[in-house]
Every structure is written in structure tokens, then in C-alpha cells.
Chains A and B, each alone.
Chain A
């Protein structure tokens, strides 16, 4: 890029992101009429403004939404500014963002009736230092997703805590260029899920006590599919021992308790340097999409999965798939900590553990026809995908 172009582009970014002269803070303290005051602030905010939500609990009766680009919504901290939706009467989520260049930081959303925070078609969105939680023991009536960006380009989810989602705590769907890092996901059905997305880094997270820790899925019949280029590294994914409480019908309802990482029907996935263990079914599951579907453009199997340098604690000692408990018993109490249904190509692992395959080359082969075996998946496991880089304005927003 020529210097002239660089200057023009940087100048354009400054105009787009830099605070305009009139940028202002809109303070919304806790108190009466929280719904109206907060929603009005989110409507009247102008690009560059910051909506500053005070400390305290805000009792909200309906979903909130933001449709103005370039707005920062900031609280006093995830344990101090609490948006409580226990008495929510309408809307599908607690907070909905539909504009670009938004930063959400330093507040909590709890007990929303549907999803926690959703952003749709919202490019360059930053979720930072948030807490999304459904209080009490995990239950099917909790909302589906905690932090839920979808159909977005450039997504950052950092230093946030998500607890109790009946689907995925952090769910990134049909998006591109994504970083999910430094988060804690506990007591969700899925801790973190990357679905039908391209170019994602999931690293330095803690996913514990969920049904499954980290899922990388691709599903048919969706506007964006062919999920690819996902790196899952340097995470701690242990003790995912919460019984599956997802409502039946959802794809995560098929995730067995005690799943560490599960890859379903993606291409180019790298899993390295994670600390895995105490996942009763398996530390790493690689599988095809094992449901009937009607979609000629959909590839239902995993391809080009590279596994290396992970630490494996005990796993596979109580596998939640039909018949595998017998296999575990026959193998002295546990199956090897990597489990593959046998579908897909170029799947390689250099982890110093065995791989248990079901030998089902096609995902529509009934599990009764499995030919279980313990194998090596030899090949070059070196990670080759480039690190995800987000626009610097997004990183700057949390520095």
C-alpha cells in the first residue's frame, strides 16, 4: 500500500472512529423508570457518544436495543452495574445491538428471558469485561446464548464471564474475523461455540463445568456455512461435568456431558496448547454432522484438523455415547481422550495419546455399524493458520 493510500485510510478511520467534537457522555444512574431512561439514552446517543450506566441494579421490563453506530456503553464493572431482566415481559434478548463500531464494557446482564446480549449484523463489535449470568442452578428455562454476535465481521469478546446459558455461553454465529479470549464460561451447556464462521481465534479462555467446553460447528441450511479457519489454543478446558440441560431439538442437546472440545464439520481447525482433562466423554471429539439434511451445498464432515501440544488429563472414563461405556469398560475403564467418528480427511494429531475411532467413514452410517479401533493420526500437525488481527481501533477501545 502506498504511503498516500495509508494516509487516506488512517484519516478515514480517524473520522469514522475518533470522537467528534460534540461527543459526549450520557449518564444513566440507577433508580426509577430505568427502562425508559436507559432505552431513551440508547436511542438519543450519537456516534462517538458514551452511555455511562451507573452503579446499582437496573430492573428492566423489556429488552433494550442500540442501533446507533460508534457508541460505547460502559458500566462501573460487571459486579457493580447490573441490568436485571427477571421481570422482562417482551423481546428475545436483554440487549440487542444492530449498529457497527459499538463497544460494550463493564456491566452485567442477568436473568434475561431469551438471549443475554445479541448483536446482529454489527461489525467491529467489542464485548469487554462483561458478565452475563442466569442465577441459580443451570436449568432448561434459562436463555439460550449469553454473548451472541451473529452475521458480523470483526468480533472481539474479551475478559467476560458467562454462566448458565441453556445453549452456549459465548456463541459466535455466521461471522468472520473473530477473537474470543480471556473469558470464563461455566455451567453452560456449551461454554464457547463458534458456528458457521470463518477465521476465529479462541484462546486463553477457561471453560469448565459446562456440558461441553468449546464447540466448533458447521450446520446446514444456513445463509453462511462452510465453517473454516478456527484456532483453539492455550485454553483451560476441564471438568465439563454439567448434565446437558439444553432443550431438545437444539444441536447442543446432542453434546454428551464431559466433552472438552468438539469439532463438527469444519475445515482447517487447529487445536494446540490447551490444558484438557476430567472430561468424562472425551477431551477432543471430531465428528461429522450425523443428522439427515437436505442441502446440496453442505459438507457434513470435518477436514484438515491439526492437533498438537495439548495436555491431556484423564478423560473418556464415562463416555456419554451409546455403547462407548462398554468400550471403556473393556479397555480398563477409559477410552483414549481423543474421539473421532471416522469421517473426514486430513485429520492429524501429535498429542501423546491414542485416538479412539468409531470407523464410521460417512456420517450417515448408523452407529450400530461402528468398527471401533484405537489409532494414530500421523501427519504434519504444525499450526499454519495466521493469527487473527482485528482493526486497531477495536484493540484500542479496551487498552
Chain B
């Protein structure tokens, strides 16, 4: 009966979509195997063929501070095999047991502002010999998503929050580019799931109730939603840099050679970019001397590269072809308020 209802709902939402037989349980053998499944549906993460409703053992989740990806809307899901639990690593990173999976939809609202049109779904699988990242692109008929190892550029048109119509060449990453962000000590690693970035007041509780997290969590410092102006500008800016930059810009990440480290926990002002000269920026320097010139965002390489859309200059290197207007305003305010020692007035908000 449930199955029929789900099918009916899916049909209503996605008229004309071919409906594949939905699966109601996650296929552990596919997660754990050594194949690269051709279709997203083979994993059984979703109760409907259009991947809107997860099966009961898959948990939707959100992040306080998400990565900006050309204003794409995202939906995140996690799966931990029955009877197993994540442990807590450095900086509150969730260490998932083998057999776990993370699933992330990327899409845009349709022009009418109602439906969420899926472009791609990225899957991270924790197999016995490490994490594997696989990119799936949604078929034209929206009935399933197909593995696309080499990635793809997809023309996308959407209306942004200011009502402006944007047309972009949306880049679905290839399998190697997944690792381009998800690398830690040269192994693939999830980025988002850390306690500090998941703590929204109830989510940690929901995961614990599933038995997915230990009950006796050590105290940690929550990372704010960078859009939420009730938090001080320096914490918001640091949260923004953490989730948008620090997956590469950390001591064990793809940008380790830069010496620029932007994690939320970073304490060294030079590593954070304050008064730091570039190393391998090339034309990315924009003619500026320092990653962050306190008080002067327009003379800061970090701001310059966040603002640019020129490949070879733009940061992050992947996932962004548009400037993130709101993020730029935040980083501008943060650098503008910074004194020469790198301290920011935390009392007021922009």
C-alpha cells in the first residue's frame, strides 16, 4: 500500500516520467562491492524512482554552512548500515563505518518556483579500501540518474534570489574532480559531516536516536550559518571560509603547498592569509601583495579570487562559475573591519 502511494505521488509530481520499480531497502552489496553501478537506482537509497523520498534507513540531513555551488539547491542524505555507528574524529569530523554512504542531490527550482529539478547526484561510498566518489547525471526523462565518470557541462537557466535570470554552463565534476575537493592525505574523505556544522539543535539528536552517533559526545563549538546575521561577522566569515575553502586549504588537503589554511580551527594569522604573500598564485594575485590585507578587501588576493570567474584565477577552482554575491559581501565586511593585527570587531553585524 505504501508502495502504491509513493508511486502515485511520484507520478503526480513528475508527470510523464518513466517509473522504474522502486526499491525499499538499501542494497548493501552494491555499496560494498567493487563495481561502479551505472544507475543511481541500483543503490536503493530512495523509495521512489525520482529520488525525492529516501527509504526509512536513509536520513536526510543539512549543514549549517554549505558550500556555494552556483546557487544550486542541494539535498543531502546519509546511510549507515544497521547496527553500526560513526565515531568522532579531529575537529568533530564524523568517521563513518565501512558500508556507509553519503548522497547529495544538486538541482535548481524550475522557473515556476515550485518543483526542484535535479541535475546531478553525487554519491560517496565507504568501501573496505576507502571512500569512492561517483557522479550521476539525471536522465532527460528524470526517471533515473546515470553514472558519468568524465563529468559533463549542462546548460542551466534559473532565477536567483534577486529575481535575475542566470544562464550558466553548470559543471558536473568528473570522478577525479570529486577527489579534487574530497582529498585528505591523498584519500577521499567526506567534507560536510562534522558535528560543528550539523548542530542545528535537533539533527545531532536525530542521528543519535538512530544509533548513528555515540551518546556521550564531547563538547564542541557550533559553526554558524554564514547567512545568519545574528552571529558576529568574524564567525560567519570563518564558517564561510571553512566550508568553501578549507577542504583544499588545509595542511593535508589539495592546497597544502600553498601555506594558506582556512579551517575554522586555524589560529595562525599568517596561515589564515593575514599579511601572507602568495606562493604559486600566478595571475591569481591580481597584482596584490597579500592574501588578506587587513582593512582593505579590494587589495586582498583572497577576495579578488573569490570575486573572479576567470578560470586560472577563480577560487574555488571547481563548482563555481558565478560570483557568490552574498558570500562576497560577508568577506568584504570581515576584511574591511579587520585591524592590522587581524582582529575583527565582533560586536556589530553588517
A interface residues (Cβ-Cβ under 8 A, vs B): 35-37, 39-40, 42-44, 61-62, 65-67, 88-92, 96, 98, 112-115, 120-121, 140-145, 148, 150-151, 166-167, 171, 173-174, 219, 221-223, 247-251, 291, 294-295
Contact = CB atoms under 8 A, between A and B. Distances in A.
Among A40, A67, A248, the one with the most B-chain Cβ atoms within 10 Å of its Cβ is A67
A249 B257 contact: no
B174 A219 contact: no
Interface in B153-210: 153, 169, 171, 174-177, 179-180, 183, 186
B257 A66 contact: no
Contact of A248 (B289, B313, B317): B289
A249 B186 contact: no
Given A62-B171, A221-B276, A294 B282 contact: no
B271 A91 contact: no
Chain B interface size, under 10 / 10 to 19 / 20 to 34 / 35 or more: 35 or more
Contact of A65 (B174, B186, B251): B174
B321 interface: yes
A90 B171 contact: yes
Nearest to A189: B282
Given A43-B174, A145-B282, 19 more contacts: A37-B150, A43-B149, A62-B153, A90-B321, A91-B177, A92-B317, A114-B311, A114-B317, A120-B254, A143-B282, A219-B279, A221-B259, A247-B285, A248-B288, A249-B277, A249-B278, A249-B281, A249-B288, A294-B275
B284 to A, nearest CB: 8
Contacts of B180: 65, 96
Contacts of A120: 254, 257
A91 B320 CA distance: 10
Contacts of B285: 247-250
A43 B289 contact: no
Among B152, B257, B270, the one with the most A-chain Cβ atoms within 10 Å of its Cβ is B257
Contacts of B278: 249-251
21 contacts: A43-B149, A43-B176, A62-B151, A67-B176, A113-B311, A114-B317, A120-B257, A121-B186, A144-B282, A145-B282, A151-B257, A167-B280, A219-B277, A223-B256, A247-B282, A247-B285, A249-B277, A250-B281, A250-B282, A251-B278, A251-B279
A32 B194 CA distance: 43
Contacts of B317: 90-92, 114
Contacts of A174: 257
B151 A39 contact: yes
Interface in B303-327: 310-313, 317-318, 321
A389 B175 CA distance: 35
Interface string B295-307: 0000001000000
Contact of B174 (A39, A140, A145, A167): A39
Contacts of A151: 256-257
B261 to A, nearest CB: 10
B251 A251 contact: no
B257 A251 contact: no
Contacts of B149: 39-40, 43-44
B302 to A, nearest CB: 12
Given A91-B318, A113-B311, A249-B286, A43 B150 contact: yes
A223 B282 contact: no
B283 interface: yes
Nearest to B269: A294
Given A35-B150, A89-B321, A92-B312, A251 B283 contact: no
B287 interface: yes
A37 B318 CA distance: 20
Contacts of A40: 149-150
B147 to A, nearest CB: 11
